[in-house]
Amino acid sequence: MKIYTKTGDKGTTALFGGTRVPKHHIRIESYGTVDELNSYIGLIKDQKIEQEHQDSLAKIQHQLFTLGAELATDPEKATLKNGKERLDIVKVRENEIDFLEKEMDLMNTKLPEMTHFILPGGHTTVSYCHIARCVCRRAERLATALQENEPVEPYILKYLNRLSDYLFVLARKLTYELQAEEIKWIPERNQMDS
């Protein structure tokens, strides 16, 4: 299989199902951002963190690839073409969302109560989590924009929303495990208010 096909040289690309759209189409932006998110999650997974986190992140990467495939599919053609076979696309469902919620609940049991907003940073690995969280929020915004024009599975929006929460909790957990400082955001008072 050649990596380069030359079919996109004029600024269009094919969705699963064969429909060609401009490379700046909101659907392409949506699954491209999910791909970017998946790359950042790979970066987090490659850090010196506990194996349990690496395993969870590997599972999330697989789920994001599935979610990206859903977004890359023309909604009017809900099956993939693979040579002569036609394959139904596996979809993200409630059990993947449950997985994220259980992981968050488990991590939260070992964390101090959060009393302030937290500034991103304190350790490189923690910063990677915050970058991934921001990319996840962008993917969610793009998917909701896509939903205004074309059907998007509700579980996609729910999963992305929950994943950004997971990445925030993971950032806090890694701060704790790496013995980094959790930097609280404390708003400064305006001098004129005093």
pLDDT of 59 reads 97
Q: What are phi and psi of 24, to 5 degrees?
A: -95, 5
Higher pLDDT, 2 or 152: 152
Question: Domains in the chain and their CATH numbers?
Answer: 21-183 (1.20.1200.10)
pLDDT at 190 over 80: no
Please answer whether residues 79 and 86 qualify as being in contact, where contact means their C-beta atoms are separated by less than 8 angstroms. Answer: yes
pLDDT at 73 over 70: yes
pLDDT of 116 reads 86
174 CB burial (10 A radius; 0-12, 13-18, 19+): buried
pLDDT of 91 reads 76
pLDDT average, residue stretch 121-142: 97
pLDDT of 25 reads 76
User: Residue 5: pLDDT band by 50, 70, 90 thresholds?
Assistant: confident
Please answer whether residues 176 and 111 qualify as being in contact, where contact means their C-beta atoms are separated by less than 8 angstroms. Answer: yes
Stated pTM of the model: 0.85
pLDDT average, residue stretch 78-103: 72
Terminal CA-CA length for the chain: 69
pLDDT, tens digit, 9 for 90 and up, residues 16-65: 666 766 567 788 899 999 999 999 999 999 999 999 999 999 999 999 99
Higher pLDDT, 193 or 175: 175
d(CA 172, CA 184): 12
Q: 3-state DSSP call for residue 182? A: coil
pLDDT average, residue stretch 70-74: 85
DSSP per position, 4-28:
--STTTTSEEEPBTS-EEETTSHHH
DSSP state for residue 3 in the 8-state scheme: S
Mean pLDDT of the chain: 87
pLDDT of 134 reads 98
158 CB burial (10 A radius; 0-12, 13-18, 19+): middle
pLDDT of 13 reads 66
